[in-house]
A and B are shown apart, each in its own frame.
Chain A
Amino acid sequence: MSSVRDIISRLGGMPMGFATVLKTFFRKPVTVQYPEQKKPMSARFRGRHHLKRYDDGLEKCIGCALCAAACPADAIYVEAAENTNEQRFSPGERYSKTYEINMLRCIFCGYCEDACPTNAIVLEPIEFPTGYTREGMIYAKDKLLEPAPAGVQGTPQVTPPGKYERAILPYPPIDASV
């Protein structure tokens, strides 16, 4: 004698599974189509890196590779070269010829930011890096470097001798009133 109860027990949890699917099928989805759709982020969220510039358009990065040394994920690769007054990228003698961050390796810990002697590398509270290929996830200077401020020439610049001799400028005195 087969009863309804028997049939249900023979089918196992299948109907219950279908019930769960049915229940969630009409629910509003929680995922979003990132990066086309974005969700509001916390103001303190730290996303991908930017390489900053000074107001005069020179790059803050001096190619010292301390970020690479500090990086626990070995995600940063820097090659340095020497500035000349005819082709100046940054103040002082040294600039980063190649600067690459492998965003797949990066764990967004911010140690690079801590290590940077010129505050050149900053994790900005904006988009998280996405891509379809592994190569595309290695961000070079073209993606990392900020555009020059409006009305200011980017790098390389021709600069007068003696103006940018030092790579690490003293920090401006801290304004105690703020």
Chain B
Amino acid sequence: MADMINLTIDGIPVAVPKGTVIVDAAKKIDNDIPVFCYHPKLKPVGMCRMCLVEVGTPKMDPATKQVVKTEDGKAVIAWMPKLATACTTPVSEGMAVRTNTKQVLDARNNVLEFLLTSHPLDCPICDKGGECPLQNLTLAHGPGVSRFEYEAKNHNAKHVPLGDLIFLDRERCIQCSRCIRFQDDVADDHVLQFHDRGRHMEIVTFSDPPFDSYFGGNTTDICPVGALTTADFRFKARPWELDSTPSVCTHCAVGCNITLNTRLETRTGGHEIKRVMPRQNEHVNEIWTCDKGRFVHHFTRSTDRLTQPLVRDASGKLAESTWEAALQLVADKVRGKHVAGVIGDRLPNEDAFLFGQLLTDVIKTGSVTMSPAIPAAYADIVRGFGVGKDTEFKQIGKGDTILVVNGDLEESAPVWFLLLRQAVVDRGAKLVMAHDHITKMHRYATKTVNYELGTAANWAATETMALGAELKAARNVLIVFGDEKLSADGARALARALANIMIESGHAGKANSGLLPLYPHANTQGVFDALPEQLASTVAVQHGKRQADVAWLIGVGDPADVPQAAFTVVQELFLTDVAKSANVVLPALSFAERDGSFTSGDRRVQRFYRALPGMGQAKPDWWIIQEVAKRLGKSWGFHGTTEIFAALADSRPDYAGLTYELLGVTESQWPPVGRADLYYGGTAYDNTGGVGARYAARAEQSGFTAVSEAVAPPSADMESLQHLPRTLYQAGELISRSKVLAGHVEYRNSEMTRTAK
């Protein structure tokens, strides 16, 4: 930061980068200038007038063009005659700001009194009550009494659905436009707008269907009053009653940091998740999360969760059994047999590691693969040429090139869409889109390349070299790619070709450069890393056709991934189609009921923590694996995931040096949001669970020899063309149990109109 500006705020000197506004500069020295419309992640507008301060600049002598100084050498400050908004005024050299004079305090008091003339003050029934910036600031700066008659207040509609997920209370709205600006500037879904003027000004949605956005939930977080509420949390609990546990979202490769807010509930007779809030991690999701991550939590307390081990009895029915009987049965069945293990990519690293150990070291005649199978075909290439260890999405901007191939960023990794969109739109990175259909990201493309449906791999293998010169000239190259409509061979060929581009353009192994895969779930990379090396990509994709004596499936949803076997063991949350045909079904704990770690698509390893007690007799998957191992004569003696992760880090060179302690380290982040500072950034939670750590791509390590052999793409990849492009609300076991997303899922899956907009 070369351009530092020096100024004084209430006499305290502070140096900040050029372009900083006064509010942020004051925040650096813990001077909280109150704001409503200002948000550090949005462009300032100066609408609410809450941040008025006295501003002065050094007095200049018109004749000499020099700063006028007093006798003791201090600059004479020329104070502006009126107050200025601290959120729109950028700092300048020598500037002086006063935030505690009577004039400023009166202004704050008056602005609050003015805002409260139309505010209903129904705090007791308002969901924001208790974490409301308007409440807090009124208490700190506002008048204690009202001079206005209750009946003279503006009375507006209190229950206005803006779409299925978000409700608007027009009375509470203070017209700060944070929601509008978020939708316009960050999400780029232009669905909200002001209507009318003056006292009649109100928020309306004009899209069809209303509030058509994947990011609507974020507007309720940044709303400084209780005007916007989610259908999920509406009247569910008061904020002060909630317990918060740091966690990680499991639904896509981004690995958004979230906070699970839980509370006692009589219906389930225990704790349940009341809402999911984003948790600040400036390296990952900043303070955002998508609506899928926010609203697909109901499965954790779904009434059809498995709570007892089930064993198929003599009559061929799955009957309730005990852990002892079920585990002994499994141990007897797998001993000495050929066991084909499949583990889903939502499972944490620890479980995948232990499962691999069980099948290769204990049972010895086992083999293990992951589900879905296709990412296993190229996850090793990502490990080699993935984004550099020190990559920060925030630093990608002018001079950098982002290439997006064969994947819809918004549908597959919504928060990466937000971050990379800002890199292009706000910071001037170049965007090259190579697709067979139009996605939302195409709006910002500097260059668009089209290829025929399903031929991404062929295109990448033959024609990407045309981009060579352009990529070589770029400061950094980030390549985002997906495996939509590709077979395993095709996906591997695509990843290989893209890795070759990285090598040839000289960007392999650099920070802010590398491959960014659009994996289907939170731990695709982690499961691949944790499983034994023998998971060769070519074997991995065959497992649907595998035959074995025993099939052992952990969290496998796709029947196509199930090996043929005489005896099937399933570890699941629900009695899925796969579980229904199993011989033994073992109930597992969901991510909210246990702890563990996930490795996101950009190879950041992150911890999540236990927020809820388990359902029934369900157990964590690692416990089940360990118990079977014990019955086969191998006693690991792990007490928890900490020890398993330590063992994992010992045996996987990429994870060397990573410990739970390291992953749990937090750091001070900018902008400061969270409990102690509600009004600045909304109600996102500060990070108490750790920001995680990214392990280095192999291309970054010394002694890495770049292997640039090209993989020939399959000539006819027609089988895979049956796959539709991935959508965020793709029907599935978890999303079908969400109480609020049901209508949305139906719409998305029937219409598929999104790309045509």
Contact = CB atoms under 8 A, between A and B. Distances in A.
A94 B613 CA distance: 29
B266 A170 contact: no
B266 A65 contact: no
A170 B235 contact: no
Nearest to B149: A170
A72 B483 CA distance: 57
Contact of A170 (B125, B150, B241): B150
B120 to A, nearest CB: 7
A66 B124 contact: yes
A87 interface: no
Contacts of A80: 125, 235-237
Contact of A168 (B124, B159, B235, B236): B124
Interface residues on A, range: 20 to 34
A78 B636 CA distance: 46
Contacts of A68: 241
Contact of A93 (B121, B125, B150, B241): B125
B332 interface: no
B264 A64 contact: no
Contacts, number: 53
A94 B238 CA distance: 12
A94 B235 contact: yes
B158 interface: yes
A62 B234 contact: no
Contacts of A166: 120, 122, 158
Contact of A65 (B158, B159, B241, B264): B241
Interface in B68-105: none
- Residue among B125, B158, B159, B235 with max Cβ neighbours from chain A (10 Å): B125
Contacts of B208: none
B124 A117 contact: yes
B240 interface: yes
A92 interface: yes
A79 B124 contact: no
Contacts of B264: 77
A117 to B, nearest CB: 4
A92 B159 CA distance: 10
Given A65-B241, A170-B151, A98 B266 contact: yes
A81 interface: yes
A165 interface: yes
Contact of B125 (A62, A69, A79): A62
- Residue among A69, A165, A170 with max Cβ neighbours from chain B (10 Å): A165
B235 to A, nearest CB: 5
A122 interface: no
A80 B151 CA distance: 27
A69 B129 CA distance: 12
Interface string A76-100: 0101111000000000111000100
B120 A93 contact: no
A65 B238 contact: yes
Contacts of A69: 238, 240-241
A168 to B, nearest CB: 6
Nearest to B267: A79
Interface residues on B, range: 20 to 34
Contacts of A165: 155, 158
A120 to B, nearest CB: 10
Interface string A142-160: 0000000000000000000
Contact of A79 (B120, B151, B265): B265
Contacts of A117: 124
Contacts of A66: 124
A104 interface: no
B481 to A, nearest CB: 45
Nearest to A116: B124
- Residue among B122, B151, B237 with max Cβ neighbours from chain A (10 Å): B122
A79 B263 CA distance: 10
A123 interface: no
A77 B264 CA distance: 9
Interface string B393-415: 00000000000000000000000
Nearest to B236: A80
A75 interface: no
Contacts of A98: 266
A79 B158 contact: no
B124 A167 contact: yes
A92 B120 CA distance: 12
A57 interface: no
A69 B264 CA distance: 14
A130 to B, nearest CB: 24
B266 A82 contact: no
- Residue among B151, B155, B234, B265 with max Cβ neighbours from chain A (10 Å): B234
A16 B238 CA distance: 63
Given A92-B158, A167-B122, A168-B124, 12 more contacts: A63-B235, A64-B125, A66-B124, A69-B240, A77-B266, A79-B265, A79-B266, A80-B235, A81-B235, A92-B122, A94-B235, A98-B266
Nearest 7 CB-CB pairings of A with B = A64-B124, A94-B125, A170-B150, A117-B124, A80-B235, A167-B125, A65-B238
Interface of B: 120-122, 124-125, 129, 150-151, 155, 158-159, 234-238, 240-241, 264-266
Interface of A: 62-66, 68-69, 77, 79-82, 92-94, 98, 117-118, 165-168, 170
15 contacts: A64-B124, A64-B125, A65-B241, A66-B124, A68-B241, A69-B241, A79-B265, A79-B266, A80-B125, A81-B235, A92-B122, A98-B266, A166-B120, A167-B124, A170-B151
